[in-house]
């Protein structure tokens, strides 16, 4: 069994301080402690939604093209009763009760008062509903989840966060030092391109959680070193001036292999 529910409730009380903690990580001793105890071994990737991915096989439907195989082969699947981030932020724009998903043997230790065991089709349906609600799957190995849930080992727990742009834990990402931001990676071969149709309205800059977009001279510019490839800029662009392109045909297999290198869900 995972962490006692009373401990989880105390952790949730302090959850809103995560933004202050991210800023504190820029103090070297604090950053080293966080990396060792909360982030070590992390590798997380956001999988774009609602996008026509240029340069790819048109039969590929993200994000289920990546996630479905893991859902089907997982020894255990747990759907959380609510999103801890949206609940703490009292989110008004996205569903609080569309919780994250945890896959793998370690998920069996999650307190049933926090989440319910689920079958394959229920889990896939939950992901589809989340995508329709505008939530972006953020998946991989996340040590922080092992810590606050009190389950392990970490390499047997696959996190599928279903993130909104306003409350997501990784809104702390821009405040982390560069060494800790490396735990978040965009899909291999993914490029974000801005066309001449851009009017410089700034909507893309507003929704970017990694602060990779800046509008200058009436044109949006994207920093590829900061971009995590969530696709929110393309999804929200009123002129459809932002396109997501893959420069490699095996991008789905590459993403799966990267996840398998850090997590075993069987």
Q: What CATH architecture applies to the domain 190-246?
A: 2-Layer Sandwich (3.30)
Domain boundaries along the sequence of the chain:
5-186+249-260, 190-246
| More confident call, 18 vs 215 | 215
User: Taking the CB of residue 166, how many other CB atoms lie within 10 A of it?
Assistant: 15
Percent of the chain with pLDDT over 70: 91
pLDDT tier at 226, thresholds 50, 70, 90: confident
Chain-wide mean pLDDT for the chain?
Answer: 87
Average pLDDT of 214-229?
Answer: 90
CB 221 within 8 A of CB 179: no
- How many C-beta neighbours within 10 Å does residue 244 have? 24
Measured CA to CA in angstroms, residue 192 lies from 24, 102, 173, 249 at distances of 31, 29, 19, 16
pLDDT in tens, 93-127: 999 999 999 999 999 999 999 999 999 999 999 99
How confident is the model at residue 51, as a pLDDT? 66
3-class secondary-structure state, position 220 = strand
Cα separation, 240 vs 236, in Å, equals 8
Answer whether residue 175 shows pLDDT above 60. yes
């Amino acid at each position: 069994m995972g962490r006692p529910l009373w401990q989880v409730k105390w952790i949730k009380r302090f959850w809103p301080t995560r933004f202050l903690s991210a800023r504190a990580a820029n103090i070297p001793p604090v950053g080293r402690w966080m990396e060792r105890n909360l982030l070590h071994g992390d590798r997380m990737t956001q999988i774009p939604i609602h996008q026509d991915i240029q340069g790819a096989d048109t039969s590929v439907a993200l994000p289920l093209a990546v996630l479905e195989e893991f859902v089907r082969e997982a020894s255990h699947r747990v759907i959380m009763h609510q999103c801890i981030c949206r609940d703490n932020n009292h989110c008004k724009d996205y569903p609080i009760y569309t919780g994250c998903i945890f896959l793998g043997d370690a998920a069996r230790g999650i307190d049933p008062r926090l989440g319910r065991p689920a079958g394959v089709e229920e889990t896939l349906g939950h992901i589809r509903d989340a995508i329709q609600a505008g939530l972006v799957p953020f998946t991989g190995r996340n040590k922080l989840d092992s810590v606050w849930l009190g389950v392990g080992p970490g390499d047997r727990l696959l996190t599928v966060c279903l993130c909104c742009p306003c409350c997501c834990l990784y809104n702390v990402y821009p405040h982390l030092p560069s060494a800790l931001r490396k735990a978040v990676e965009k899909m291999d071969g993914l490029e974000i391109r801005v066309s001449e149709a851009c009017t410089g309205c700034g909507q893309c800059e507003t929704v970017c959680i990694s602060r990779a977009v800046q509008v200058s001279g009436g044109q949006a510019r994207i920093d590829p070193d900061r971009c995590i490839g969530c696709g929110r800029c393309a999804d929200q662009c009123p002129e459809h001036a932002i396109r997501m392109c893959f420069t490699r045909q095996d991008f789905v297999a590459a993403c799966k292999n990267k996840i398998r290198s850090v997590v075993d869900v069987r």
